[in-house]
Amino acid sequence: MKFSGRRKKSQSAYSEEQQTMDPKGQKVKLNDGHFIPVLGFGTYAPQEVAKRDALEFTPFAIEVGFRHIDCAHAYQNEEQIGQAIRSKMADGTVKREDIFCTSKLWCTSFRPELVRPALEKSLKSLQLDYVDLYIMHYPLALKPGEELYPKDENGKLIADSVDFCLTWEALEKCKDAGLAKSIGVSNFNHKQLEKILNKPGLKYKPVCNQVECHPYLNQRKLLDFCKSHDIVLVAYSALGSQRVKGWVNPNHPVLLEDPVLSAIAQKHKKTAALVALRYQIQRGVVVLAKGNNKEWIKENMQVFDFELTPEDMKAIDGLNRNIRYCDFHPGVGHPEFPFSEEY
């Protein structure tokens, strides 16, 4: 007697588990015991539309099932994101514990005494008592002050001499105080991660390293390094990147027009964007998807509806060409500039 509901043996345990749980609830366990949803909503937008986009698209993202919201002080829209989260809590769509909210410590607040006030400022803007994850945005300390990008008369960023290991100790205190459930880093290379991991008296390891990651910059070496230390890699610019003037090299090829991605997408009757997101999830990478279009935001949730074959994964692995869209060139010359290392 045949059961039509029986699954083919070839499907991985991953997909079995995926089919037995609410796909939107897919999470990865962090090294401190908390869980992070594998798909996150990125809230960065160019300055002129950042606030408007946050108000318009964050509530919609929550409505269609996003539970992981990635924010940052430097995006200058945390107040609007706070309003969006509040509105979805008020109308019963979500409770606070359903939302995983990340914020980031900006580089001008790396002096230990500035860390907690910076976090408290973000919490006030977000109208939250705690964030689920607080991360150092870059490993580069910059001169403290109101300006996000303090520059000298030659237009060069002004560095601050604080050691980011001391900043990390201040983050540990924020975790102990319950202001952040988990703490991590962003844009660190493996040597900078090692510096924290080998720090005398380390209390908490970073739970994650959030970096640019996509098929043209697949970060294989950094991913292996992070996995070996039980650090989750979180991918931003997973679809290539918005062409943000001054931030993104406009001469790079457009990832989503890649013929290999397009062919795999056609085979699965999905878009190239979904294939690029799915690729990360199957490598154990937490992936952020930005959206300034409701159709795309909704479409991103389909990442749980299909599975790439080992052949697909191998073909996408083969696309790596170490193209970095967000090269943070204003930071070149800073003693802690992270992207001079191979990984």
Supply the DSSP string of 102-124, one letter for each residue: EEEE-GGG-SHHHHHHHHHHHHH
Tens of pLDDT, residues 83-112: 999 999 999 999 999 999 999 999 999 999
Token reading at 236? 């931003």
Report percent pLDDT > 70 for the chain.
Answer: 90
Lowest mean pLDDT of 13-22, 99-108, 291-300, 312-321, name the range. Answer: 13-22
Class of residue 322 by CB neighbours under 10 A (exposed 0-12, middle 13-18, buried 19+): exposed
116: alpha, beta or left, given left = phi > 0 and alpha = psi -120 to 50?
alpha
Residue 329 counted as an annotated binding residue: no
pLDDT band, very low/low/confident/very high, at 243 (cuts 50, 70, 90): low
In 3D, which of 327, 313, 243, 315 has the Cα closest to residue 285? Answer: 313
- pLDDT at residue 7 is higher than 90: no
What are the residues facing 272 on neighbouring strands? none
Tens of pLDDT, residues 176-233: 999 999 999 999 999 999 999 999 999 999 999 999 999 999 999 999 999 999 999 9
What are the residues facing 68 on neighbouring strands? 100
**Packing angle of the helix pair 190-197, 220-228 (nearest 10 deg):** 10
In 3D, which of 61, 70, 68 has the Cα closest to residue 88? Answer: 61
Residue of higher predicted confidence among 329 and 104: 104
Residue of higher predicted confidence among 330 and 171: 171
**Catalytic pick among 14, 44, 75, 216:** 75
Between the alpha carbon of residue 208 and those of residues 147, 182, 198, the distances in Å are 27, 9, 16
- pLDDT at residue 74 is higher than 50: yes
75 a catalytic residue = yes
Q: For residues 275 and 308, what is the distance between their CA atoms, to the nearest angstrom?
A: 8
Residue count (the chain): 343
- pLDDT at residue 2 is higher than 50: no
Contacts of 260 (CB under 8 A, 6+ apart): 315, 316, 318, 319
Beta carbons within 10 angstroms of residue 35's beta carbon: 14
